[in-house]
Amino acid sequence: MHPILIELREQLELTDNIFKDSINLLYKYNKGIVAEHSKDVAIEAERLANLFGENCKSARIAGILHDISAVIPNDKKIEVAESLHINILSEEREFPLIIHQKISREIANILFGITDEEILSAICCHTTLKKNPTQLEMILFIADKLKWDQKGIPPYLNNVQNALKKSLEDGVFAFTKYLYENQSDLKVVHPWLVEAHNFFSELIGTEAHNTAFD
């Protein structure tokens, strides 16, 4: 196991409360902003799960752990990912921060004992999503975007919230369409995001014509 993960295991004080444990770990590594964001995402994911008939507990666990890899410095993320035998895409090497979703999955499994593949898979693609996603994957993806950790109001918020009134899929497409229209602002265009957007472009219908990433 990578020395950083060994250190994390030593610092992690596990109780029967995974939510408290994960937040305590983030604060221990001075990641208070991420901790508060994770709390918000967990609450939002649980709300969306209740709204769309998904398992609320699974959504809450996925939400609280989705950014747990923030405890690993960005300049160490590729090194840790390699030690975990994670498949690293060229876009992730170019912009290592984006691989945090894959590392968070491994930390949730290895250190927090999460074995539910639906939860782990949702954590693993919460930033980019992927084609043909499960309902839980869509819920975590959208919860993360509705409760972003930046200042101010997300520029896409109204569009996504209005689309969610139609369906979860419409809400997802509203966000990926926003990214498509503003792709020049992205550090990298992750292949999973492209596949997800193109999937929903075809799924949603006529409104989506001519909106595939280049």
pLDDT digit string (tens) for 112-149?
A: 999 999 999 999 999 999 999 999 999 999 999 999 88
Average pLDDT over residues 169-180: 96
The tens digit of pLDDT for each residue in 83-102 reads: 999 999 999 999 999 999 99
The confidence score (pLDDT) of residue 214 equals 60
Residue 15 CB coordination number (10 Å): 8
pLDDT band at 211 (very low <50, low <70, confident <90, very high): low
Structure tokens at 3: 């020395």
Q: Which pLDDT belongs to residue 114?
A: 97
The percent of residues above 90 in pLDDT, for the chain, comes to: 88
Rounded to the nearest 10 degrees, the angle between the axes of helix 117-124 and helix 100-110 is: 150
Mean pLDDT of the chain: 94
Q: What is the pLDDT of residues 40-83, one digit of tens each?
A: 999 999 999 999 999 999 999 999 999 999 999 999 999 999 99
Of the candidates 75, 122, 71, 83, the residue with the CA atom closest to the CA atom of residue 101: 122
